[in-house]
Amino acid sequence: MRYELYYWPMIQGRGEYVRLALEEVAAGYRDVAREPGGMAAMTKILDAKSGTPPFAPPFLKAGKLLIGQTANILFYLGGRHDLAPKAEAGQLWVHQLQLTITDFVVEIHDTHHPLGPTLYYEDQRVPAKKRTAEFWDERVPKFLGYFEDILKDNGPYITGRRLTYVDLSLFQIVDGLRYAFPQRMNAFERRIPGLVGLHDRVAARPNIAAYLASERRIAFNEDGIFRRYKALDA
C-alpha cells in the first residue's frame, strides 16, 4: 500500500513522528503538501463537511481509511509494519507511551509560546522565560526520567530487543531538545544515558540514517515545535 501523508510542508512538527515510522519500514508514501498543489489538496480534506474529516494535520490516507492524530496514526502503522508488539497488551502499552510523548510535546511547544500560538514569541518573552525554567527544573526530569527508567528495565529499546515506533519518537525528542536547547540539553544528558544511547542506535539504523541524510528530512527551524531562542537556553 502506498500511503499519503498530509502535514505542513515547511516544518518537522508532529508529522515527523509519522515520517520516521514510514521511513524506518521503507513504506511507499507521498508527503502530499510538499508537492505542487499539495496544500490545496490538504485544505480540501480539512474543509470537508461529511465523512470523517480530521481536525488538523497530520493525517494519513491508507486506502479508504483517513486517520488523524499522530498517536493514532502510529498505532495503525505499528500493527501493520512490525513497529509494535503482537499482543494486545503490548500494543496498548506502546500506545500509552506514545500518548505520554504527545503530552510532553505540548509542554515543549509551550516553553516558547506559553500564552498561546496566535501571539508572537516577542509578545511573550517574559512568561516564556519563566515557563522554560520550570520546564527544565520539573518537567524534563519527570518525563525523560520516566522513559529512562523504562529503558533501564527493558533495553536496548523501550520494550526490549525490538524497535517500536515509540523508540523512533524518543529519538526525535532527544534530537529536537538538542536543537532547541543545546546548552541545557548538554548539561542534562548525563542524567539520561539510556535515552542518549537509544537516540544513537536509532540514528544508526540504515533506513533512518539514509533519511536523515536526505532532502526528505526537513531541517529544524524557528517555525516548528523545537525552536531555538538563546534567551531560553541559559
Report pLDDT for 1.
78
Length of the chain, in residues: 234
Q: What are 157's strand-pairing partners? A: 160
pLDDT tens for each residue of 162-193: 999 999 999 999 999 999 999 999 999 999 99
Report pLDDT for 51.
85
pLDDT tens for each residue of 187-221: 999 999 999 999 999 999 999 999 999 999 999 99
> 218: part of which helix (H) or strand (E)?
none
Which letter does DSSP use for residue 122 in this model?
G
What average pLDDT does range 219-230 have in this prediction?
95
Report pLDDT for 234.
86
What average pLDDT does range 80-101 have in this prediction?
98
Report pLDDT for 111.
95
pLDDT tens for each residue of 106-139: 999 999 999 998 888 999 999 999 999 999 999 9
- Across the chain, mean pLDDT equals 96
Backbone φ and ψ for 155, nearest 5 degrees, come out as 25, 160
The C-alpha cell that represents 70 in the structure block: 499522530
How far apart CA 113 and CA 129 sit, in angstroms, is 10
pLDDT tens for each residue of 34-80: 999 999 999 999 999 788 899 999 999 999 999 999 999 999 999 99
| Cis before 58 (ω within 30) | yes
What average pLDDT does range 144-154 have in this prediction?
96
Strand 29-31 relative to strand 59-62: parallel, antiparallel, unpaired? unpaired
Report pLDDT for 50.
81
Which letter does DSSP use for residue 159 in this model?
T
Q: What is the longest distance spanned by two Cα atoms in the chain?
A: 51
